[in-house]
Amino acid sequence: MFNFTLKTTDGGARRGVLKTAHGDIETPVFMPVGTAASVKAMSIEDIWATGAEIILANTYHLMLRPGAERVEGLGGVRKLMGWDGPLLTDSGGFQVMSLGDLRKIDKDGVTFRSHLDGSEHRLTPEISTEIQKMLDATISMAFDECTPFPATHKAAAVSMRLSMDWAARCRQAFTPRAGYGQFGIVQGSIYTDLRSESVERLNAMDFEGYAVGGLAVGEGQDAMFTTLDATTPLMPADKPRYLMGVGKPDDLIGAVARGIDMFDCVLPTRSGRTGQGFTRRGTVNLKNARHADDPRPLDAECRCYTCTHHSRAYLHHLFKADEVLGLMLLTRHNLTYYQQLMAGMRQAIEAGSFADFAQNFAAEYAQGDIDAN
Amino acid sequence: MFNFTLKTTDGGARRGVLKTAHGDIETPVFMPVGTAASVKAMSIEDIWATGAEIILANTYHLMLRPGAERVEGLGGVRKLMGWDGPLLTDSGGFQVMSLGDLRKIDKDGVTFRSHLDGSEHRLTPEISTEIQKMLDATISMAFDECTPFPATHKAAAVSMRLSMDWAARCRQAFTPRAGYGQFGIVQGSIYTDLRSESVERLNAMDFEGYAVGGLAVGEGQDAMFTTLDATTPLMPADKPRYLMGVGKPDDLIGAVARGIDMFDCVLPTRSGRTGQGFTRRGTVNLKNARHADDPRPLDAECRCYTCTHHSRAYLHHLFKADEVLGLMLLTRHNLTYYQQLMAGMRQAIEAGSFADFAQNFAAEYAQGDIDAN
């Protein structure tokens, strides 16, 4: 069965467990992004080794390639990619809205052209919900419009209300299955009255969980936190709360402090491909020449495969030589870093020391990288 | 100590063990190519898991980037990349000769420009030998000219004799170290009298092993086998014999039948990056649409990570979607395939059934891939 239990709280921070058909998820949790049924450059065993308990895949990409029918025929995304754990899929809305001239939105849904071959497709609340079922998502997301930023109050209201109408249709279209869930998405831009109205409307639909959407779209961390401050207290305490597409380490800590339980972001995987590594003392650009002769690991206290086997000098060399192994190793590290960060937060909440954890983290992160060799 | 022991023979095929400072190598052996101190798309644990016991790296690439002095400062290639097993380096000669207008050859050595930044460098028998020592190669190769094919008898003789002069200088420049070895390289194109002269000259220099060079350069399998037939019987039986840059599965089997102990080739790794997989029933192009819905593994009898975890449909999807995981998984499979092929040959030689093994392999390989789903 699909069930969220709040184990303890520490200020606004929450420590819970989400039970699903495909495994339990300790929260707060970070979900690595596996856009096209692959967490880029990571084998399934490597993903598990980072400590991940749930991953995300993108409906838009998968409906175009390999196609929802094909994925369904192969047993769903989890079966296709060999991931036995829980899977969350987005609704496709965010990507479709980003297509610009290639999409046309109406009251009923969105018609768009594939960025791959120009073929025409359509997504509606009903179609998105059905496709996510075909993909066998443990958690499906409501199909909504991610309100662009900035938006006037009026535009944000119109957009939010469209999303709420669509949310109701998604809920109607959702087939309840034991251990599976569907999340509604709170919209309303940075306007607290709209966020409040959105929460109220979604609550009445009784989703298995709720996401905060439309943030991390350019409003900045302060506005994001302010919006969360006004939103999360209105959300039901007994359901998981998911902040979509966030974020940097200090975004995660600040959002957990404000009652968020779930996150996803491409930052650790994308950074892993561009040579940026996360450490307790901030980010490190491994392409920088100062690492060329440095026999030390990226982070001496990290227990990941990369840091226990390889030096900064080697990672630097691999990135300079465009070796695939470089991005493989750095992605492993970055995802482990994110999972370790979440584990640290979970531990701190249990110990009632989350505020100290957040303060210590910020102080160490601000120190910057260790000196050159 | 560096020591080759011939355990048994079966016809021309030899079953041996090569003991080195960095581990024992069961022969016949295939060496994965780690050009720039990385077997492309493979972590060290993955390399070990395929069954590899020795890997190869390229002096030319490493002397340019990250540079021989830098590698030496970091403890050698093995330390740099985290490979604890034996390492063989080529001399840089093959790559340098391939640079065309960018290189100028003289009696003493070769001056060339880097393909990376145009900087000028020089390789001589002495410099190549010294660099390979800096790289901490378990097995160093003599610096030679790989005679282009086709070559007239006269040109092949001149080229071979230059290589023999250089081999003598390499041997002189080599610093003996316990458990380390240096191999001379037999040249002479397809001319048996020249091969014979080359073997004779090298034998007098008493290398720890001998390679057959200048083959697999366009002469075709028949000419390669004919040349081996005329060459390997002349080579000392108590030293390992290495056929450079070979080859396809049936090349390996035919060469083992003719007394070769060691191989290297980019084929399994390069094919792994282009979607070509090796199976007992020939090669399979995983980009082909017929795999799109096929839930079966690439090779149902293969015990590699890829075949025990993933379907053809998933591999097909990964290659179509340009996901790095596709080449990671297929490289793992292909290298495992090659190691399994070598293991099969070793077993067959021990059992005295190498001829049967070769025949059965050829029959099964010729069947072609299993039918589409």
Closest CA relative to residue A140, chosen from A46, A267, A21, A16: A21
User: Does the structure show a pLDDT above 70 at A373?
Assistant: no
Q: What percent of chain A has pLDDT over 70?
A: 100
- Rounded Cα–Cα distance for residues B333 and B302 (Å): 8
User: Does the structure show a pLDDT above 80 at A372?
Assistant: no
Q: Residue B274 domain-assigned?
A: no
User: Does the structure show a pLDDT above 90 at A183?
Assistant: yes
B66: chain A residues, CB-CB within 8 Å? 292, 313, 317, 320
- Active-site pick, B10, B251, B264, B294: B264
Same domain, A141 and A85: yes
Q: So what's the pLDDT on residue A210?
A: 98
Q: Nearest CB to B293: which of A70, A309, A311? A: A70
A90 is catalytic: yes
Of A265, A293, A327, the one marking the end of a domain is A265
Banded model confidence at residue A96, pLDDT cuts 50, 70, 90? very high
Q: Nearest CB to B66: which of A310, A317, A325? A: A317
Number of domains in chain A: 2
Same domain, B77 and B161: yes
Same domain, B122 and B159: yes
Mean pLDDT score, A274-303: 97
B152, B189 contact by CB (below 8 A):
no
A264 is catalytic: yes
Same domain, A189 and A216: yes
Q: Do A293 and B73 touch (CB under 8 A)?
A: yes
Q: Do A323 and B45 touch (CB under 8 A)?
A: no
Q: So what's the pLDDT on residue B371?
A: 82
Residues A196-236 have pLDDT tens digits of 999 999 999 999 999 999 999 999 999 999 999 999 999 99
Task: Determine how many CB atoms are found less than 10 A away from the CB of residue A321.
Answer: 19
Distance of CA A42 to the CA centre of its chain: 17
Strands A181-186 and A139-141, bridge-based pairing? parallel
Banded model confidence at residue A144, pLDDT cuts 50, 70, 90? very high
Same domain, B157 and B294: no
Same domain, B173 and B249: yes
Domain of A231, CATH number, reads 3.20.20.105
Q: Do B65 and A314 touch (CB under 8 A)?
A: no
Q: So what's the pLDDT on residue B373?
A: 63
Taking the model in full, what pTM does it have?
A: 0.97
User: Does the structure show a pLDDT above 80 at A248?
Assistant: yes
Distance from CA of B309 to the nearest CA of A (A): 7
Q: So what's the pLDDT on residue A365?
A: 96
Q: Tens-digit pLDDT profile for chain B (373 aa)? A: 899 999 999 999 999 999 999 999 999 999 999 999 999 999 999 999 999 999 999 999 999 999 999 999 999 999 999 999 999 999 999 999 888 889 999 999 999 999 999 999 999 999 999 999 999 999 999 999 999 999 999 999 999 999 999 999 999 999 999 999 999 999 999 999 999 999 999 999 999 999 999 999 999 999 999 999 999 999 999 999 999 999 999 999 999 999 999 999 999 999 999 999 999 999 999 999 999 999 999 999 999 999 999 999 999 999 999 999 999 999 999 999 999 999 999 999 999 999 999 999 999 999 999 987 6
Contact residues of A toward B, CB < 8 A: 36-38, 40-45, 61, 65-66, 70, 73-75, 80-82, 292-293, 295, 305, 309-311, 313-314, 317-318, 320-321, 323-325, 327-329
Show the CA angle centred on residue A58, arms to residues A122 and B310, nearest 5°.
Answer: 120
- What value does the mean pLDDT of chain A take? 97
Same domain, B257 and B323: no
B14, B349 contact by CB (below 8 A):
yes
Q: Residue B271 domain-assigned?
A: no
Classify residue B196 by burial, with Cβ atoms within 10 Å: 0-12, 13-18, 19+.
middle
Residue ranges of E strands in A59-180: 87-89, 103-105, 110-113, 120-123, 139-141
Question: Tokens representing A350?
Answer: 């249990």
Range of the domain at B138: 3-265
